[in-house]
């Protein structure tokens, strides 16, 4: 479902950014579930076409859009400085904000929305489903490298853009409260899903307890590492750049690794309705572990490593709970493309949880095996 923002409004916003040339194209990108994202093209007088991303921050998800912008400014500046100093980025493409004509990195619209402009990462695309092990390795390497790049950024400089974002216990309790309320009368149809989630209640505290005891540290993490948040070079399959930085804030690396597994390991889409298509591809899992350890292996502690496989199950359960909550609350958070979409997404995630449980022993053995080859 495309957003209600029209071409005319986007054109008006585009002209408020300090971009040289004439706007020649504007096309909405509909892969993300949260923001309104447009690809725009500008042509200079000598015929050069440059592309940009214009994005309207979803203000009902991000209650403090200015805080989000401050975080994104800090993170992109920090990464660009580090990459320049160390020449860590082989491709030369990193995410950068473009200023508005008034010098600020955001532009307001008439409905009090906040827009920003990024460089378009050229020659790349995102995938909703990973096609091969090379892509999996590359994506995991890129998210590990991202964690490394922001590891020296002071946590006090970043606001928590969505409080309790990966507080799995709160996510569980909130779902139970929403079930109790049954505001849209949809609870009767989700008995099986609720029973499945309730059976796993004990597991929602595991990473929170590890954090609470100090067994695993709070680090600056991406927090939304789904596979379509990394740009992959179309020709070489190399991961070029991590995007979607709105949730970069202190967290656990486990949620980052887990969410990448959730979105990469199965050959089926996140909203697959033919549940038998949802399976765990072990060669892809191995590639994710290898790629992640290649860039993050140097800083992870033992407890983080031991829980990598489990993290995939935990975050998949968490995301399933979030989709179900949104379905029961009347689809207010995630963009949906048809009625019942969030329930379909929830069911697909729960099937993936079951598949991950079936492979947990194998996945844990794989992590241990790969770690040994590192040392």
* Contact range with ligand GN1 by CB under 6 A, out of 27-35, 36-44, 45-53, 174-182: 27-35
Q: Are 161 and 71 in contact (CB under 8 A)?
A: yes
By the rule CB under 6 A, 243 interacts with ligand ADP: yes
Q: How far apart are CA 304 and CA 258, in angstroms?
A: 11
Q: How far apart are CA 308 and CA 272, in angstroms?
A: 25
By the rule CB under 6 A, 32 interacts with ligand GN1: yes
By the rule CB under 6 A, 35 interacts with ligand ADP: yes
By the rule CB under 6 A, 224 interacts with ligand GN1: yes
By the rule CB under 6 A, 271 interacts with ligand GN1: no
Q: Count residues binding ligand GN1 (CB under 6 A).
A: 12
User: Which residue has the closest beta carbon to ligand GN1?
Assistant: 33
- DSSP H helical ranges for the chain: 7-14, 65-86, 133-149, 168-181, 191-199, 206-213, 253-264, 282-296, 302-306, 308-329, 341-358, 360-374
Q: Is 210 helix (H, G, I), strand (E, B) or coil?
A: helix
Q: Are 296 and 148 in contact (CB under 8 A)?
A: yes
**Furthest-apart CA atoms within the chain: distance in Å:** 64
x-or-dash pattern for ligand GN1, window 49-88, by CB under 6 A?
Answer: ------------x---------------------------
By the rule CB under 6 A, 37 interacts with ligand ADP: yes
291 binds, among ligand ADP, ligand GN1, Mg ion, none (CB under 5 to 8 A by kind): none
- 251: nearest Cα among 315, 310, 200: 315
* Contact range with ligand ADP by CB under 6 A, out of 9-17, 31-39, 71-79, 347-355: 31-39
* Both tokens assigned to 311: 């993290």
* Contact range with ligand GN1 by CB under 6 A, out of 11-19, 91-99, 223-231, 284-292: 223-231
Q: How far apart are CA 85 and CA 141, in angstroms?
A: 20
Tell me whether strands 219-221 and 114-119 are parallel, antiparallel or unpaired. Answer: unpaired
Give the residue with the Cβ less far from ligand GN1, 244 or 286.
244
Among 221, 247, 266, 311, binds ligand GN1 (CB under 6 A): 247
Q: How far is the CB of 341 from Mg ion (least distance, A)?
A: 17
Q: Estimate to the nearest angstrom the gap between the alpha carbon of 105 and the chain centroid.
A: 22
- 143: nearest Cα among 39, 220, 31: 220
Interacting positions 85-114 with ligand GN1 (CB under 6 A): none
What are the C-alpha distances in Å from 264 to residues 236, 243, 270, 295, 355? 18, 16, 10, 18, 14
By the rule CB under 6 A, 95 interacts with ligand ADP: yes
Give the residue with the Cβ less far from ligand GN1, 19 or 68.
68
Give the residue with the Cβ less far from ligand ADP, 5 or 95.
95
Q: Estimate to the nearest angstrom the gap between the alpha carbon of 218 and the chain centroid.
A: 18
Among 133, 193, 238, 270, binds ligand GN1 (CB under 6 A): 270
Give the residue with the Cβ less far from Mg ion, 168 or 229.
229
Instruction: Give contact residues for ligand GN1 (rule: CB under 6 A).
Output: 32-34, 61, 224, 226, 229, 244, 246-247, 270, 319
Binding residues (CB under 6 A) for ligand ADP: these are 29, 31-35, 37, 53, 95, 118, 120-121, 126, 228-229, 231, 243-244
């Amino acid at each position: 479902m495309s957003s209600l923002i029209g071409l005319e409004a986007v054109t008006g916003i585009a002209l408020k950014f300090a971009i040289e040339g004439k706007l020649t194209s504007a096309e909405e990108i509909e892969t993300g579930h949260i923001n309104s994202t447009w690809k725009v093209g500008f042509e200079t007088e000598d015929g050069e076409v440059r592309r940009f991303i214009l994005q309207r921050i979803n203000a009902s998800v991000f209650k403090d859009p200015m805080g989000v912008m401050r975080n994104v400014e800090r993170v992109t500046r920090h990464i660009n400085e580090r990459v320049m100093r160390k020449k860590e980025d082989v491709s030369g493409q990193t995410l950068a904000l473009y200023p508005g004509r008034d010098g600020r990195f955001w532009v307001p619209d008439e409905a009090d929305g906040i827009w920003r402009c990024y460089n378009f990462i050229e020659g790349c695309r995102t995938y909703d489903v990973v096609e091969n092990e090379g892509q999996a390795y590359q994506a995991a390497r890129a998210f590990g490298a991202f964690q490394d790049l922001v590891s020296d950024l002071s946590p006090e400089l970043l606001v928590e853009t969505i409080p309790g974002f990966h507080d799995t216990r709160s996510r569980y309790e909130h779902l139970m409260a929403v079930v109790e309320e049954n505001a849209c009368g949809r609870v009767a149809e989700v008995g099986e899903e609720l029973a499945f989630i309730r059976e796993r209640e004990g597991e929602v505290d595991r990473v929170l307890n590890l954090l609470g005891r100090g067994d695993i540290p709070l680090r600056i993490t991406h927090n939304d590492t789904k596979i379509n948040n990394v740009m992959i070079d179309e020709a070489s399959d190399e991961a070029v750049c991590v995007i979607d930085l709105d949730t970069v804030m202190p967290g656990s690396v486990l949620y980052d690794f887990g969410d990448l597994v959730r979105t990469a390991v199965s050959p089926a889409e996140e909203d697959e309705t033919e549940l038998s298509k949802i399976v765990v591809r072990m060669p892809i899992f191995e590639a994710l572990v290898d790629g992640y350890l290649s860039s993050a292996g140097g800083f992870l502690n033992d407890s983080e490593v031991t829980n990598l496989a489990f993290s995939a199950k935990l975050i998949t359960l968490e995301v399933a709970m979030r989709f179900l909550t949104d379905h029961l609350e009347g689809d207010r958070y995630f963009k949906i493309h048809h009625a019942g979409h969030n329930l379909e997404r929830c069911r697909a995630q729960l099937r993936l949880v079951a598949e991950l449980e079936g492979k947990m022993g194998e996945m844990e053995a794989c992590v241990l095996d790969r770690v040994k080859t590192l040392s």
